[in-house]
Amino acid sequence: MKRMLSGIKPTGQLHLGNYIGALKNFVNYQDEYEMFAFIANLHCITTAQDPNELQKNLKDCVALYLACGLDPNKATIFLQTDIKAQAQLGYIICCHTYMGELNRMTQFKDKMAKNETNLSGGLYTYPALMAADILIYDPDYVPVGDDQKQHVELTRDLAERFNNKYGELFKVPEPLISKVGARIMSLSDPSKKMSKSDDNDKGCVYLLDDLNVAKKKVMSAVTDSLANVKYDPINQPGISNLIQIYSSLSNNMPYAEIEKMFEGKGYGDFKKAVSEKVCETLSDIQEKYNNIINSDILEKTLNDGATKANLIAEEKLKKVQKALGMEIL
């Protein structure tokens, strides 16, 4: 069975973009692949966090992994800090990552360009830790949204660098970006991706949003004046985003079929249909979340996941340290 690994950094509540671009795919893949899904709590602190809020978001994230359908009997689900070897390999990889490479990472560049003050060293070097998160488990594939592709490409370069210098240490993984939904855009500004760091809450549907609130957000999504439900991201970015959401929540229904269904109908009708799909999805997830959040299944899931992940990670770290001449016995 081929192996797959991915992580989410819950610095805020999980939203529809995370679900469509990442989580939903993890769930679909868990039968076909040996799936490793972790919660990147080290990556979370690369930007300032409120401790109480972070703790809640982390717990919600595990619960939402399960509520969205990840099955702990199939997938290995764990918390990044439970696997100490991951951070240690992160340091080793960081020492093999050029500053030029880190300077090129668009996520960091975007933050620099916004003139955000007090950007941390951790934020700058985080792609090296992300590479360690991945390479320590030798996955074949890394399913991520579009915004993470560049980090996975850097991971591939780093794996090859180690293999060339020290002998075969790492499998070179491939990013897996789904065709539909790899970049869900903000409902209030379809030129920006839907994001938890969105200043404007109206553009982002959270998985735990009250259904009426979610419906309102979809109904007030920014569209255009062309009055035509057509997939045309350049001229009709708002409508195209809604088509993408509708398709993804309807077993990837082809865009042409959606266009046909809503031919001659107004945007109001279409938005209503999208909001119904979104609310159906959220209501199903929330019902499961409510049953899970206070049960002991969370602890058991993380304990079992950590045990399994540690076995693999520790062995790999030893192998790397030995190859680098860092072990003395």
Contact 91, 133 (CB under 8 A): no
How does DSSP assign 57-99, residue by residue? HHHHHHHHHHHTT--TTTSEEEEGGG-HHHHHHHHHHHTTS-H
Closest CA to 85 of 133, 130, 151: 133
Separation between Cα atoms, residue 131 and residue 316, nearest integer Å? 14
Is 7 an interacting residue with respect to ligand TRP (CB under 6 A)? yes
CB of residue 147 to ligand TRP, shortest distance in Å: 7
- Choose, by CB under 6 A, the member of 42, 63, 187, 194 that binds ligand AMP: 194
Tell which residue, 191, 221, 179, has the closest CA to residue 204: 221
Residue 133 interacts with ligand TRP (CB under 6 A): yes or no: yes
- Find the part of the chain contacting ligand AMP (CB under 6 A) among 16-24, 61-69, 227-235, 298-306: 16-24
What's the rounded Cα separation, in Å, for the pair 46 and 66? 26
* Residue 21 touching ligand AMP (CB under 6 A): yes
Question: Is 109 annotated as catalytic?
Answer: no
Helix (H, G, I), strand (E, B) or coil at 174: strand
Query: Binders of ligand AMP: how many residues, by CB under 6 A?
Result: 18
Alpha helices by DSSP H, listed for the chain, are 16-18, 24-29, 41-44, 51-67, 84-94, 99-103, 106-113, 121-135, 149-166, 211-219, 237-248, 255-261, 267-292, 297-323
Q: Which of the stretches 12-20, 64-72, 77-85, 288-296 binds ligand AMP when contact is defined by CB under 6 A?
A: 12-20
Residue 242: what are its φ and ψ, rounded to 5°?
-65, -35
Which is closer to ligand AMP, CB of 9 or CB of 215? Answer: 9
Contact between 182 and ligand AMP (CB under 6 A)? yes
Query: Would you give the binding string for ligand TRP spanning residues 91-130, x where CB under 6 A is met?
Result: ---------------------------------------x
Residue 8 interacting with ligand AMP (CB under 6 A): yes
Specify the 3-state DSSP secondary structure of 231.
coil
- 3-class secondary structure, 240: helix
Residue pair 185/146 in contact by the 8 Å Cβ criterion: no
User: Binds 142, which of ligand AMP, ligand TRP, none (CB < 5 to 8 A, cut-off by type)?
Assistant: ligand TRP
- Residue 47 has what DSSP assignment? S
Does position 154 interact with ligand AMP (CB under 6 A)? The reply is no
Among ligand AMP, ligand TRP, none, residue 184 binds (CB under 5-8 Å by kind) = ligand AMP
15 binds ligand TRP (CB under 6 A): no
Total residues contacting ligand TRP by CB under 6 A comes to: 14
Q: How far apart are CA 152 and CA 173, in angstroms?
A: 8
Nearer to ligand TRP, 41 or 286 (CB): 41
196 labelled catalytic: yes
| Minimal distance, residue 329 CB to ligand TRP, in Å | 31
Q: Does 142 bind ligand TRP (CB under 6 A)?
A: yes
Nearest to ligand AMP of 85, 182 (CB atom): 182
203 binds ligand AMP (CB under 6 A): no
CB environment 14-45: b (16+ within 10 A), e (fewer): bbbbbbbbbbbbbbebbeebbbbbbbbbbbbb
Residue sitting closest to ligand TRP (CB): 7
155 binds, among ligand TRP, ligand AMP, none (CB under 5 to 8 A by kind): none
Q: Binding residues for ligand AMP, per CB under 6 A?
A: 8-9, 17-18, 20-22, 144-145, 147-148, 181-184, 193-195
The set of catalytic residues is 111, 193, 196
Q: Binding residues for ligand TRP, per CB under 6 A?
A: 5-9, 40, 43, 130, 133-134, 142, 144, 148, 151
